[in-house]
Structure 1
Amino acid sequence: MTELILHHYAGSPFSEKIRLILGYKGLAWQGVTVPVICPKPDVLALTGGYRRTPFLQIGADIFCDSALIAEVVEARQPTPSLFPPETAGAERILAQWADRQLFWAAASYTLQPAGAAAIFAGAPPEFRAAFAADRALMTAGSERPSSLDAAAELHSYLSWLEHMLADGRPFLLGAAATLADFSVAQSIWFIRLAPPVASILEPHQRLSAWFERIAAFGHGQRGKSDSLAAIEIARSAGPQEPVNVQAGLGFEQGDKVQVNASDYARDPVCGELVGLNQSRISLRRVDERAGCVHVHFPRIGYALRKT
């Protein structure tokens, strides 16, 4: 019941970030393919409404957001580390920038008409329309750059990254890969999925060589499962991750609360608060199919409210 189960889909950039981290760590994992768009009834059974991809399952513990998943994977396999002491926290700051500013510039740029045609090649028109409608709901109320603004941002961002590699270092922060490398790599990977617009990468040869080094880590020892088996595992296992509510943070053990992302895909997840500290939120939920599950979120980027 302690195996790693990654709920993901092939074209998800944040899923690729985690797949590459699992490869870097040399870990075995089971993959469950989730729907690209709603409805997602099996995801709902496990997460209670969290709709971003990916999420990681260990028994009946569900870990949401790639930032938290990276922490969990690091605890499972500390070496090679995503957070080496010599980078002194710079990897987290760079990763957060990459997960937000760089990612949205890359996504907005790549999904311009020529890029979208390549990404969705072979998909029926009705799927493309459904995907657009689904993502419009996810990002409603969020400020996202136009493709022209995104291109301008990317030209600067890619130049900055290229300059970081100018001294011959193999990875962004030095001799070893860190979380920052994988957070940046997901956006480069996504741009490369769309050859008609990927020419923006061509002037940045050091960055391209760096990406090949990251891609060479592969995806680890990947198995295949399905959502019904994952739900049964959750029901049979029960939560195992230690949790407690730290005093002085404005909440008490057992409070009825909701958690939602603060930037996009703000669908709330409701439950009983069983864990809270400065870095993590944990809710207890009972689902008729999955049984008792604990759903975990990073504290950064998520709003916590009593209900």
Structure 2
Amino acid sequence: MTTPILHHYPMSPFAEKARLMLGFKGLAWQSVYIPSVMPKPDVVALTGGYRRTPLLQIGADIWCDTSLIATVLEHLQPGPSLFPEHLKGLARIVAQWADTDLFWPAMGYTLSPKGAAAMFANQPPEAAQAFAADRGAMSAGMTRLRPGDATSAYRSHLRRLANMLHEQPFLLGEAPCIADFAAYHPLWFTRVINPAMAGILDATPGVLAWMDRMAAIGHGKPSKLTSTEAIAIAAAAEPAPLPQEAFQDDHGIALGSRVTVAAQSFGTETTEGTLVAATRTHYTLARTDDRAGRLHVHFPRIGYVLKEVKA
């Protein structure tokens, strides 16, 4: 099996979710640092346009979005499970809530004007300006919470997490699952990346204790790789054979059609390719890049928009 490659950067909250999941699985993986803002030519060479962080690469297969990455890791290493059998549906629902309804208030609070000033205090002004401009472009068309509204929502969500942890060490029981990894990373961003804003967590000591348990999982066994080396690995490989999963046609778009896939909101850059799979959980696009060769790029169905490219 080709060693999984995570394309990420240190302060990315969703990358921390992926790093911890790799640690939970005890997997050896290769670590490629990518820029936190555009341009990202090596990322786009692999994805064809998608630029959100992180990406998981296995040979010439590129997996986008941590919800899909979690499923891939579960197949690579079934135990310990991110999706306990008796809690599978609930765990996914809580994780989806955490990645959206919890994530955005956490970011709105932590990156408020006060928070941004603290986070970029020791960096040149251009760094803060570039970050703000990049994220502004990524969120074009989104309704973003104002700092006061984000703070109120964040406090409420933290109390709900505290309630879930009242008589158990993890959100859904005695062991962590996908719900814990999804809920942890926005809070990690507040506590670790911008500690000047971490006081909001003090009102929920049970949540802080849970965060300590999550942090103790660690990141597994990473080794460093350059993005040039990762692209060379893709170019030297062929996409893995697609499993025999049923074609779920919800769009009237046939396999073999030229299509685009893009996130519904935030970072809506499109990836164009040939639709080679549309299962009940994800889409797969085949595309070719001058440097990376023939690739399969995979996206989850939930949170993404599939469109046919009309001739």
Q: What TM-score bracket applies, with the shorter chain setting the length?
A: over 0.9
* 1:289 counterpart = 2:291: yes
Output one character per residue of 1:176-214: Cα deviation in whole Å (capped at 9) or x when no partner. Answer: 100000000001101112222211100101110001001
For structure 2, which runs of at least 5 residues remain unmatched after alignment? none
- Counterpart-to-counterpart distance in 2, 1:225 and 1:241: 25
1:30 alignment counterpart: 30
RMSD: 1.2
CA distance in 2, matches of 1:150, 1:164: 21
**Structure 2 CA distance, aligned partners of 1:75 and 1:241?**
15
In the alignment, what sits opposite 2:235?
A: 235
Select 1:262's aligned residue among 264, 271, 276.
264
The alpha-carbon deviation at position 268 of structure 1 amounts to 0.6
Alignment of 1:13 onto 2:36: no
TM-score w.r.t. the length of structure 2 is 0.96
Unpaired runs of at least 5, structure 1: none
Aligned partner letter, 1:162? A
CA distance in structure 1 between the aligned counterparts of 2:51 and 2:34, rounded to whole angstroms? 10
Cα distance in 2 for residues equivalent to 1:21 and 1:64: 15
Q: Which residue of 1 aligns with 2:247?
A: 246
Q: Residue in 2 aligned with 1:172?
A: 171
Percent identity, please.
Answer: 52
What does residue 114 of structure 2 align with?
A: 114
Q: Is structure 2 residue 277 aligned with structure 1 residue 275?
A: yes
* CA shift digits 1:119-166 (9 cap, x unpaired): 224221112111111111000000111111000001110001101111
Q: CA deviation at 1:247?
A: 5.3
**CA apart distance, 1:2:** 1.2
Structure 1 residue ranges (4+ consecutive) displaced by more than 6 angstroms after TM superposition: none
Aligned residue for 1:292, secondary structure, equals strand
Matched, 1:184 2:183: yes
Aligned equivalents of 1:119, 1:7: Cα separation in 2 = 23
Distance in 2 of aligned mates of 1:236 and 1:175: 43
Aligned length: 306
Q: State the shift of 1:67 in Å.
A: 0.3
Report how far residue 245 of structure 1 moved.
Answer: 6.7
Secondary structure of residue in 1 paired with 2:145: coil
Aligned to 1:153: 153
Secondary structure at 2:307 match in 1: strand
Q: Give the distance between the partners of 2:242 and 2:223, measured in 1 at CA.
A: 27
TM-score by length of 1: 0.97
Deviations 1:205-253 (A, max 9, x none): 1110001001000000010001100000000011015156715432212
Amino acid paired to 1:129: Q
Shift of 1:114: 2.7
